Amino acid sequence: MTTTAAREQTTTAGPAKPVPVPDETSAPFFAGALAGRLMLLRCRACATFSSPIAYIGVPLRARCVNCFSGELEWSASSGRATLYSYVIMHQLYDKAFAAEIPYNIVLVDTEEGVRLTSQVVDCPNDQLEIGMPLEVTFERMSDEVAVPKFRPRG
Amino acid sequence: MGVNAAIAGLGITEMGKVYGRTASDFAGEAIALALEDAGLQALDLDGLLINGNQSEEMAPRLQFALGLVDLRLVNTMSAFGSTAGTMLQYAAHAIESGQANVVACVYADAPLREGTSVSQSGYSGRRFDAPGLAGLRFAYGDYGPANSSYALALRRHMHLFGTTHDQLGTIAVGQREWALMNPHAQMRTPMTLEDYHASRWIVEPLHLFDCCLVSNGGVAVIVTSAQRARELRQPPVYMRGFGQCAPGDTGRVEREPAIHTGAAKAGEIALRQAGLELSDVDVLELYDCYTYTVLVTLEDYGFCEKGDGGTFVEDGKLAPGGSLPCNTGGGQLSSYYMWGFTPLAEGVIQARGQGGERQVGKHDHVLVSGNGGTLNFHSTTILSQHDS
């Protein structure tokens, strides 16, 4: 089954950002995001948290990274994290992002010990600092889809 | 334990913005050139190991495009940019165990199209239609994921160890100096440190000149037994040691694959097999998708302490005339981007002593590295003109 690209509804000229298309394996992640929860995978055997995204091109993590159990369940993160690294995107790959250049892409370390790719909002790029405390927030992209981002925490 | 196999032929096609040709076409020419270099014919081949990148046609289909028949060893291999080393290892084992006699290992790709920017080629990672979690990165604008992921690794290294752009620039400038002496190199105009600093940001902290080229072209090597290689046209290049290490990435905070790469283990394994020490290495051909890859690989091989890569390279020791010649053809930053076949090809040239004006004087042992993913896959190969 192929899924056609969805695009954010736009009222202005130019393309809109690509909206993720939830599928069977990722539905709990996106349902959680809509409800304001950052969903991770948690091992039923050893309680280790892992990121559902194992690598570029891998649909969903299959086994626990600590004990190799296949019994992984969705479990919400506290939403608290720190900034592990950040970069500023200057190259235009998709015109939908033209107005946002330069924008940040970051890696955050959640309290559960999971490293995730995301973006930091409500913070100018020159204020980004490795180690800064963050908390999750959700950006609504359509009626069905929200994506987790992070903002400075207290 | 020695390796009873050697590289007997090398073929390099025209490189870069060479339009209107397919990857199969480049692969065929690279193999033809490598056979001619060795003094062999297509009928002598009984093995074909294939490494494509963006070109799907390169998968086992290549055998049909080339009309090769009755092969005894054929496969498509991929551990991303570390593949060249892993192919040589597989070819050597097959030859040592009598499963094959003459194996062509080839890389070819043709991602560039006339009138289209690199950022819009297959390398941009544009997969708007990727369903589920695979689509999440595009919602963030995280295209060209190699650039952003290596930039994230570099930023972390800068934070931990104070690595500077001057230091990274020294790597880029040194490699450009080497490229000026390489007829196959795409970049043939001099570059200064000022030019490096002035080059635009791609993904900050990566300048344009921190990033490798993208190339259309092909490279092939012919692997055969050491005895057979000695009877052929070129001086044999012995493969004295192999090592692989794929450290993985659990996505857990306990590990830092951005900082600690597979080079540490792969290098140790390869040197041990070769019976050599790091200090025996005369020439380095290090995988350089980015300047940072060179720097972190030097650290993990143990040429300097972890974190000291920047201060290690800043005296220009990697450049022509320096004490540790590295990427002597210009590497992927300044010559051409053929994944692990870029450092491998130059390693063969240097080991043979055929580098012309860029030939390094003492070239008894050449260390070649391959790296793939975001520092997730590593291969090391020790090449030498001496069989022991």
Q: Which of B287, B290, B301, B336 is catalytic?
A: B287
At residue B260, the pLDDT reads 98
At residue B369, the pLDDT reads 98
What's the mean pLDDT when you consider all of chain B?
A: 95
Give me the residues of chain A with pLDDT under 50, please: 1-5, 10-11
Q: Which residues of B touch A51 (CB under 8 A)?
A: 251
Verify whether the Cβ–Cβ distance B133 to A29 is below 8 Å.
Answer: yes
Rounded distance between C-alpha atoms, residue B242 and residue B92, angstroms = 10
Q: pLDDT grade, residue B24 (50/70/90)?
A: very high
Q: Which residues of A touch B203 (CB under 8 A)?
A: 87-91, 105
Type of residue at B248 = G
Report the residue from A3, A92, A113 with minimal CB separation from B254: A113
pTM value is: 0.95
Q: What is the pLDDT of residues B67-95, one digit of tens each?
A: 999 999 999 999 999 999 999 999 999 99
At residue A4, the pLDDT reads 42
At residue A67, the pLDDT reads 97
Report the residue from B143, B153, B200 with minimal CB separation from A93: B143
Domains of chain B and any CATH numbers: 6-113+216-224 (3.40.47.10)
The SS3 of residue B314 is coil
Q: Is B144 near chain A, with CB under 8 Å?
A: yes
Per the annotation, the verdict on B143 as an active-site residue is: no
Angle between helical axes of B145-161 and B291-301 (0-180°, round to 10): 50
Please answer whether residues A18 and A36 qualify as being in contact, where contact means their C-beta atoms are separated by less than 8 angstroms: no
Q: pLDDT grade, residue B57 (50/70/90)?
A: confident
Query: Which tokens sit at A39?
Result: 């969903």
How would you classify residue B76: left for phi > 0, otherwise alpha for psi between -120 and 50, otherwise beta?
Answer: beta
Question: Between chain A and chain B, how many beta carbons pairs sit less than 8 Å apart?
Answer: 154
Phi, psi of B213 (to 5 degrees): -80, 175
Q: pLDDT grade, residue B60 (50/70/90)?
A: confident
Between the alpha carbon of residue B15 and those of residues A21, B23, B26, B30, B51, the distances in Å are: 39, 12, 10, 11, 17
Q: What is the mean pLDDT of residues B138-167?
A: 96
At residue B129, the pLDDT reads 65
Indicate the domain borders of chain A.
Answer: 23-152
Rounded distance between C-alpha atoms, residue B111 and residue B25, angstroms = 13
Q: What is the pLDDT of residues A119-133, one digit of tens each?
A: 999 999 999 999 999
Interface confidence: ipTM more than 0.85? yes
At residue B161, the pLDDT reads 98
Q: pLDDT grade, residue B65 (50/70/90)?
A: very high
Q: What is the mean pLDDT of residues B306-320?
A: 98
Report the candidate in B110, B111, B71, B108 with the shortest Cα–Cα distance to residue B91. Answer: B71
Report the residue from B132, B137, B141 with minimal CB separation from A23: B132
How would you classify residue B264: left for phi > 0, otherwise alpha for psi between -120 and 50, otherwise beta?
Answer: alpha
d(CA B60, nearest CA chain A) in Å: 22
| pLDDT, greater one: B224 or B130 | B224
Give percent above pLDDT 70 in chain B: 97
Q: What is the mean pLDDT of residues B140-146?
A: 90
Give percent above pLDDT 90 in chain B: 90
| pLDDT, greater one: A94 or B335 | B335
